[in-house]
Chains A and B, each alone.
Chain A
């Protein structure tokens, strides 16, 4: 299995390498949204603070969002939608390996590339701008790495499962965009959850949205205090990961029976 994965990742890495310019574009696209949000909160905070967030806190928060969003984002619903509609799924089904493994390998190659670019940029910016520096806490970083891994796995299954809806409808990608619109607020992309009205932030915590992004980001910036809060956050991530894996298995087994391949 490890050999297979090494081959798949190598393959995905080489394919990406042909489209370097394209990767830079997606990277820019991923960075501008948090940058603009930071610009606006920067203006609002002024010399004071908003709900405990001063300018430097916003800067750290949105730099962490740039990095962790890039590490956890999954484009698979778009690929699956195309595979299913255009019949590209056929030869993937003929392989002695579940197509999800190829998707996972692609995710690893893509994230390794883009996230390392962001990390380098962050380090360069931090060298000149103390506001975005993080305190040196290896323990916290290790826990964050676990949370990022869980979030990435969950977002992969969300995206893959939503893409599988293409077995039933031609608008699977619209559903994913709807989810992206909601997660703008509930996952903390536009503002730290602490700045949302409490009821809305509560919904984000009960559903899977906080586990997607806001929780690992808050872990990294130090907004989550205490072993108790950390454990509860990780537990929520595990529970929702389990739920989405179950949804994925259900959608796959039902959908594949329905699938009438295109072409032939």
Chain B
């Protein structure tokens, strides 16, 4: 598919969803309150840990708050873009309504991923980045230009990795059609991204870096921002993101072959 048409389609999704959500403005307040509450819970949990220690996996308090800010920003992307569509997909695979998506002259993976948007949750991205910024201020660390560039690259790579994990889960819906709440599996795994991977025992760290690569979603961007990571290594993050995306895409293709349609 040519790029401009893609952009046009995304623009159309956005317009539709904005128009729909503007009918429910009270949801905006509820969404912001919910985000603030979950941020407060995360900070209190961290404060509890640091009540009994001075470093966690070699990171100090405000460094992990930077990481929590990144975590929150990515949560915003997930809640705004990825979660709204997935429940619908499982239902469509079961009932055969997915036929209507597959016959459309667009890429099915892209269509399924981006058709539903929950625009209010975009505020999570803003609040998360603000938290990271405040934590940097408390650290007394002003990121240099290469560090900021590395943060930009690694954060984009993080969004791609999260998306890839999500597509893998969506693909599973073709095998386990009864799974309406497959997103729960993502929540379970993503819990681990709240803390730097260096805090975990060796085996778990291996899993988070190589098998379920959530280390690349929060630990690496936060490290880039605080200067723990040499800026060049951002390119490795980009490579990981590319690999994860290619794997997810291949799995999605394989999964689609299993789909038999409404008559199957």
A residues in contact (CB < 8 Å) with B: 18-22, 25-26, 28-29, 31-33, 36, 39-44, 50-51, 171, 174, 177-178, 181, 184-185, 190-191, 195-197
Contact pick for A32, options B57, B192, B195, CB 8 Å: B192
> A40 to B187, Cβ gap below 8 A?
no
Given A44-B52, A44-B53, A184-B45, CB of A28 within 8 Å of CB of B195: no
> A40 to B49, Cβ gap below 8 A?
yes
Docked CA distance A261–B262 (Å): 34
**A260 CB to nearest chain B CB (Å):** 21
Is B100 an interface residue when CB atoms closer than 8 A count as contact? no
> B178 to A195, Cβ gap below 8 A?
no
Question: In the complex, which residue of chain A has the Cβ closest to the Cβ of B52?
Answer: A50
**A51 CB to nearest chain B CB (Å):** 7
Stretch at the interface among B103-111, B196-204, B240-248: B196-204
> A19 to B53, Cβ gap below 8 A?
no
Q: Which residues of A contact B52 (CB under 8 A)?
A: 44, 50-51, 195
Question: In the complex, which residue of chain B has the Cβ closest to the Cβ of A184?
Answer: B41
Given A36-B191, A43-B56, A174-B30, CB of A21 within 8 Å of CB of B45: no
> A185 to B48, Cβ gap below 8 A?
yes
Is B121 an interface residue when CB atoms closer than 8 A count as contact? no
Interface residues of B: mostly helix, strand, loop or mixed?
helix
Q: Which residues of A contact B194 (CB under 8 A)?
A: 36
**A21 CB to nearest chain B CB (Å):** 4
16 contacts between A and B (CB under 8 A): A22-B180, A25-B179, A25-B185, A29-B184, A31-B188, A32-B188, A39-B201, A40-B195, A41-B49, A43-B57, A43-B201, A50-B53, A178-B37, A181-B37, A196-B48, A197-B51
**B78 CB to nearest chain A CB (Å):** 16
B contact residues, total (Cβ < 8 Å): 33
Q: Which residues of A contact B49 (CB under 8 A)?
A: 40-41, 44
Q: Which residues of A contact B200 (CB under 8 A)?
A: 39, 43
Docked CA distance A19–B34 (Å): 30
Q: Which residues of A contact B199 (CB under 8 A)?
A: 39-40, 43
Docked CA distance A174–B27 (Å): 12
A28-B188, A174-B30, A181-B38 are known; give 12 further A-B pairs, CB within 8 A.
Answer: A21-B179, A22-B180, A26-B184, A31-B188, A32-B191, A39-B201, A43-B201, A44-B52, A171-B30, A181-B37, A184-B45, A195-B52
> B48 to A22, Cβ gap below 8 A?
no
Docked CA distance A117–B68 (Å): 33
Question: In the complex, which residue of chain A has the Cβ closest to the Cβ of B179?
Answer: A21
**A104 CB to nearest chain B CB (Å):** 23
> B184 to A44, Cβ gap below 8 A?
no
